[in-house]
Amino acid sequence: MTDTDDDIREFARVQPTSAPPEMGRFMSAMRRLQDIAVSTDPGVTLWNDAAAAIEDVCTRLEEHRASAGVAPAGRVLELPGNGHPLMPPWQVAETRADEVTMRGHFSRFHVGGNGAVHGGVLPLFYDWHFGMVVSAAGRPDSRTAYLHVDYRRITPTDEPLSSRAWIDSVEGRKLFVRATMTDMDGNVLSEANGLMIKLLPHQP
């Protein structure tokens, strides 16, 4: 096991950070690549050429690997998805001690079929959103105990959306949270509820 593997296994104490404009440009290019990768059929030669180009970039970037909590991806609040390509391009719009509102959209990369966002993307989004609520409330590091999503309507791509998550109740280490995602006309697209549990000192 390498030092990097140890860093990944350890619970990262994530702290927000800033990043240069060049990282924002890189993440925009990454998101564009993700969308293109699922919406193109260029043929064998270009597939190989594209793979070679991407492999070259991977080789160059791997020389600068950083451990969890040090690499900026996922910690840059001013970038969509906090600068993490796994997260959809949403950002915090409003925050209170018990509530966080996010705004953003989904793209072709997130499509499950017929232009609708894949059902599995929404739990990922809500898990991330609930983590934002934990941070806004000043709670210690927590893990998701459960997360339930009710799908009310098809979630569209490339349309501005809003999601509000809030603390429903607190019981010791347990933080019960709820959320609602809506379109710009106020239609409820999905709702979620979950349980976030404060970690004990020995828990990863």
**What pTM was estimated for this model as a whole?**
0.89
pLDDT at 201: 83
Q: Model confidence over 148-171: pLDDT tens digits?
A: 999 999 999 999 999 999 999 999
Distances (CA, A) of 175 to 96, 105, 162, 190: 16, 27, 22, 21
159 is a domain residue = yes
Q: What is the mean pLDDT of residues 29-37?
A: 97
User: How many domains does the chain contain in total?
Assistant: 1
How many degrees, rounded to 5, is the angle at CA 15 between CA 10 and CA 17? 130
The beta strand positions in the chain, using DSSP E, are 90-96, 99-104, 111-113, 116-117, 142-151, 161-171, 174-183, 188-198
The percent of residues above 70 in pLDDT, for the chain, comes to 93
CA distance 67 to 111: 31
- Number of CB atoms found within 10 A of residue 40's CB: 11
- Check pLDDT > 80 for residue 199: yes
177 is a domain residue = yes
147 is a domain residue = yes
- Check pLDDT > 60 for residue 2: no
Domain boundaries, position 185: 88-198
6 is a domain residue = no
pLDDT at 13: 57
Instruction: Give the side-chain half-sphere CA count within 13 A for 35.
Output: 15
CA distance 164 to 110: 20
Average pLDDT for the chain: 92
127 is a domain residue = yes
pLDDT at 204: 75
34, with CB counted inside 10 A (0-12, 13-18, 19+), is: middle
The residue whose two tokens read 């004990």 is: 200
**How long is the chain?**
204
Q: Model confidence over 74-121: pLDDT tens digits?
A: 999 999 999 999 999 999 999 999 999 999 999 999 999 998 999 999
CATH no. for residue 103? 3.10.129.10
Q: Tell how many helices (H) and how many strands (E) occur in the chain.
A: 4, 8
The residue whose two tokens read 């609602």 is: 180
pLDDT at 202: 80
141 is a domain residue = yes
- Check pLDDT > 70 for residue 6: no
Q: What is the mean pLDDT of residues 174-195?
A: 98
103 is a domain residue = yes
